[in-house]
């Protein structure tokens, strides 16, 4: 079992190595792949030294699985070449997510849809993953009619340069500006690029990907995505309208029993999810669960997850585990 990690030196790539190690993934060899300028160099990743391979070398190696986290353009160019060589690709970019020919997978929700014909598998957007992990059991039990989502997204979702920008600002230093404005002591309602209708690409990902993962185009999702000066993970304020009424105790019990979801919801004890405490964990945390008395069959909740783990690396490794387990 040979695994290639494409984008090995990036923030998500490094976490992929950590997750593979933590979950005892049955890899006999892990090949680190990065840009041509890094090829041939030795890099320390997750406590071990790896020689960085070029894309051409990785394709020629004909690994069993390749975990991609190197951007959409790289995925569009190279994922088909890996697939043609017999390597199953799990891609963390947006390149294949909305393609009708490719599965968009969260293992706990729709991993059963994978077949041996799926050579390129899309990993959803980080914000989408934590949202659908909570929505899926509610949709199955009550039917989700509409979701209004406001995100509070970590600078780690932009990459290491954004983290460095925030750290420089906190030290009072000037340097490269990844964002159009300072991020320290600020909130920027602008994640990714603006598209039609003045929604950002990140907001449209939440709308479109949620429908595809849940397998229901009737689910309505609208979002406002905001970048905030934290590093622990993404948070989401979510208002849901369901098709059927619900009893709060039963709804909480349903979420308690959902694998991969942890309910942290005790207002009396000031218990609720926060990105500071989600960092480094694989679960999706939900709290502040309460009925919305302003509209029938509606409720509010607060969802938090480490965007580099379940929002990216962990979900990708879980998909790889499904491929190994099913031998598909």
Taking only the tens place, the pLDDT of each residue in 125-138 is 999 999 999 999 99
* Nearest partner of 205 among 244, 234, 164, 166, judged by Cα: 234
Q: What is the pTM of this model?
A: 0.96
Looking at the structure, do residues 117 and 191 belong to the same domain, yes or no? no
Looking at the structure, do residues 202 and 301 belong to the same domain, yes or no? yes
Per-residue model confidence (pLDDT) at position 216: 98
Q: Is the pLDDT of residue 53 over 60?
A: yes
How does pLDDT run across 7-34, given as a tens digit for each residue? 999 999 999 999 999 999 999 999 999 9
Kindly list the distances between the CA atom of residue 75 and the CA atoms of 184, 203, 316, in Å, as whole numbers in the listed order.
Answer: 32, 22, 15
Mean pLDDT of 96-101: 97
Cα-based torsion angle of the residue sequence 306, 311, 317, 323 in order, rounded to the nearest 10 degrees:
150
Looking at the structure, do residues 214 and 319 belong to the same domain, yes or no? no
H/E segment holding residue 237: strand 234-242
Per-residue model confidence (pLDDT) at position 51: 95
Looking at the structure, do residues 8 and 113 belong to the same domain, yes or no? yes
Total domain count, the chain: 2
What does DSSP assign to residue 63? -
Mean pLDDT of 138-165: 97
Looking at the structure, do residues 136 and 247 belong to the same domain, yes or no? yes
Looking at the structure, do residues 269 and 155 belong to the same domain, yes or no? yes
How does pLDDT run across 225-242, given as a tens digit for each residue? 999 999 999 999 999 999
Looking at the structure, do residues 267 and 180 belong to the same domain, yes or no? yes
- State the burial class of residue 151 (Cβ atoms within 10 Å of its Cβ: 0-12, 13-18, 19+): buried
* Nearest partner of 285 among 109, 106, 134, 155, judged by Cα: 134
The CATH number covering residue 78 comes to 3.40.50.720
Looking at the structure, do residues 174 and 85 belong to the same domain, yes or no? no
* Nearest partner of 61 among 81, 77, 35, 44, judged by Cα: 81
The CATH number covering residue 285 comes to 3.30.360.10
Cα-based torsion angle of the residue sequence 280, 79, 328, 259 in order, rounded to the nearest 10 degrees:
20
Mean pLDDT of the chain: 97
Q: Is the dihedral of CA 98, 99, 101, 107 positive or negative?
A: negative
Could you give the 3-state DSSP secondary structure of residue 313? helix
Q: How far does the chain reach from its first CA to its final CA, in angstroms?
A: 14
Report d(CA 207, CA 188) in Å as an integer.
20
Per-residue model confidence (pLDDT) at position 22: 97
Looking at the structure, do residues 67 and 140 belong to the same domain, yes or no? no
* Nearest partner of 235 among 303, 167, 189, 290, judged by Cα: 303
In the set 53, 102, 126, 139, the catalytic residue is: 126
Per-residue model confidence (pLDDT) at position 328: 46
Task: Report phi then psi at 317, rounded to 5.
Answer: -65, -35
Report d(CA 164, CA 78) in Å as an integer.
29
Report d(CA 262, CA 284) in Å as an integer.
6
What does DSSP assign to residue 189? S
Looking at the structure, do residues 89 and 166 belong to the same domain, yes or no? no
Under 8 Å between Cβ of 230 and 275: yes
Residue 33 lies in domain: 2-124+312-326
Q: Is 234 annotated as catalytic? A: yes
Per-residue model confidence (pLDDT) at position 187: 98
Higher per-residue confidence, 125 vs 39: 125
In the set 53, 102, 139, 234, the catalytic residue is: 234
* Nearest partner of 69 among 23, 20, 119, 4, judged by Cα: 4
* Nearest partner of 231 among 154, 161, 306, judged by Cα: 154
Looking at the structure, do residues 216 and 153 belong to the same domain, yes or no? yes
How does pLDDT run across 162-198, given as a tens digit for each residue? 999 999 999 999 999 999 999 999 999 999 999 989 9
Looking at the structure, do residues 186 and 269 belong to the same domain, yes or no? yes
Q: Is 126 annotated as catalytic? A: yes
């Amino acid at each position: 079992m040979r695994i290639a990690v494409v984008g090995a030196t990036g923030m998500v790539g490094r976490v992929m190595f950590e997750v593979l190690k933590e979950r005892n993934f049955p890899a006999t060899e892990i090949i680190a792949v990065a840009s041509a300028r890094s090829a041939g160099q030795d890099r320390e990743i997750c406590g071990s030294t790896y020689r960085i391979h070029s894309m051409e070398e990785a394709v020629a190696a004909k690994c069993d699985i390749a975990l991609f986290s190197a951007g959409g353009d790289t995925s569009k160019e190279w994922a088909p070449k890996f697939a043609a060589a017999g390597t199953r690709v799990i891609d963390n970019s947006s390149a294949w997510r909305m393609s009708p020919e490719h599965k968009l997978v969260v293992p706990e929700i729709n991993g059963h849809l994978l077949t041996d014909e799926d050579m390129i598998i899309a990993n959803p957007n980080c914000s989408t993953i934590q949202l659908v992990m909570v929505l899926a059991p509610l949709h199955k039990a009550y039917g989700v009619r509409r979701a209004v989502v406001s995100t509070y997204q970590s600078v780690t979702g932009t990459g290491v340069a954004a983290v460095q920008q925030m750290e420089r600002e906190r030290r009072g230093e000037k340097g490269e500006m990844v964002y159009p404005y300072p991020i320290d002591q600020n909130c920027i309602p602008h994640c990714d690029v603006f598209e039609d209708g003045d929604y950002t690409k990140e907001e449209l990902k939440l709308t479109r990907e949620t429908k595809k993962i849940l397998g229901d185009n009737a689910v309505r999702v609208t979002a406002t995505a905001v970048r905030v000066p934290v590093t622990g993970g993404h948070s989401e304020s979510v208002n849901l309208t369901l098709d059927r009424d619900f009893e709060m105790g039963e709804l909480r019990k349903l979420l308690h029993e959902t694998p991969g979801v942890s309910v942290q919801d005790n207002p009396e004890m000031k218990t609720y999810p926060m990105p500071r405490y989600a960092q480094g964990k694989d679960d999706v945390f939900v709290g502040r669960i309460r009925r919305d008395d302003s509209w029938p069959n509606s409720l509010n909740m607060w969802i938090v997850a480490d965007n580099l783990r379940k929002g990216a690396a962990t979900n990708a490794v879980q998909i790889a585990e499904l491929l190994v387990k099913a031998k598909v």
